[in-house]
Amino acid sequence: MITTFSNVKSKVVSSYSQTNFALLKPKCFRCMVRGLFTNRVVSIPTGGTMVKYFCCASLLKSSWDQVCLAFWQRYPNPYSNHVLTEDIIFREVTPSNCLISRRLLTKTSRAPRWMERYLPKHMASCAYIVEDSIVDPEKRTMTTLTWNISHARLMSVEERCEYRINPENGSWTEINREAWISSNVFGLSRAVQEFGLSRFKKSVTKTMKGFEYVLAKMQGETPSRSLAEAATERARETALAAKEKAKDLASQAQKKQYV
């Protein structure tokens, strides 16, 4: 059956009662490494599979309330062109006054050429991401968990973020980010994990820049994104597109030689 947005959305909705946001709680193997590394990468075994673990801490010079508000307004921004759609699947306020939400995001996700052969043609350029979140206004924390439901057999990326008030400056917000990257592709799992880790790090940089951009607009400031930075990014995207087109033309030419 061809994967469509409506099929994915119905599955995400039906799976809500089964997960019930339990995934926002750390798994056993996470507890062993949490707090031991800062901005580091380590491989850890879990269930017979090696998982690439990464963690880092970030700081936003805005209040926790402002960051929580910006979290729901961060799309679109110049650093999130890869985010195509966002849909709220479920949202409610608990008896303890916590806001819990589940969203389904559609993103462009161009796989490297060597990986495309393992993906159906209609799935090679986009991905569906599930995002669960809990906002606790009493504890002043927001915890999110995101994971991919597309290409999960090829590569699974799970990210957990915790937003809380910075203990050294009450008007700033710190973000503690963890990620687990795994692959079950025999003979290629390490290469797939390295690719996933590299892409994830780049994504974190764009996420933080997007946050800063949205926060600046909310506060009536001029976003810090310079014209030079924008031009550099456009040039990089153009060069990448040209490179991919050249590879396609070379591949077509090679096929004609054997015809």
Tens-digit pLDDT profile for residues 33-45: 333 344 666 666 5
C-alpha span between 135 and 81 (Å, rounded): 26
Among all chains, which residue has been given the structure tokens 């927001």? 142
CA 232 – CA 44 distance, rounded (Å): 37
pLDDT tens sequence across 9-63: 565 555 544 444 544 544 433 333 333 344 666 666 565 567 999 999 999 999 9
Q: How far, in Å, CA of 241 to CA of 251, rounded?
A: 15
Chain centroid offset of residue 252 CA: 34
| Report field, pTM of the whole predicted structure over 0.85 | no
Low-confidence ranges of the chain (pLDDT < 70): 1-49, 110-124, 222-259
Nearest to 34 by CA among 163, 142, 170, 162: 162
